[in-house]
Amino acid sequence: MSEDVFRALADPTRRRILDELAERNGQSLFEICTRLVTKHGLGLSRQAVSQHLAVLESAGLVVSRRQGRYKFHDLNTEPLERVMNRWLKTDSPENSS
């Protein structure tokens, strides 16, 4: 929940992950993995996706809930809304780093 929303969005793979979660919320790491490989043809390891999810989570764009041996991930668009009114002044004057 920090401030590196921009840095988190910088990577195309992470954007794909957000797309994936936007289309189908509450996926596990392996679900996201296989979907990225099959639907988008990306060849990346489980660890890669895991690290991407960590970045997204620390940016507050993804929240996760542990449940048994599964960890489900949900999209959270709230940081996006806060951060985008920095130059598009359509709302409150909340600026930051």
The residues that touch a second copy, with contacts defined as CB under 8 A, are 6-7, 9-10, 12, 15, 18-19, 22, 75, 77, 80-81, 84, 86-88, 95, 97
Angle subtended at Cα 60 by Cα 54 and Cα 71, rounded to the nearest 5 degrees: 50
9 binds, among DNA, a second copy, none (CB under 5 to 8 A by kind): a second copy
Helix (H) or strand (E) holding 72: strand 70-75
Spatial CB neighbours of 23, under 8 Å, sequence gap ≥ 6:
none
Q: Which of 10, 22, 37, 84 binds DNA (CB under 7 A)?
A: 10
35 near DNA, rule: CB under 7 A: no
Phi, psi of 27 (to 5 degrees): -90, 155
- 44 in Cβ contact with 36 (< 8 Å): yes
Instruction: Tell whether residue 41 is a contact of DNA (CB under 7 A).
Output: no
Residue 5 is encoded by which pair of tokens? 């929303």
75 binds, among a second copy, DNA, none (CB under 5 to 8 A by kind): a second copy
Residue numbers at the binding site for DNA (CB under 7 A): 7, 10-11, 13, 28-30, 43-48, 50-52, 55, 68-71
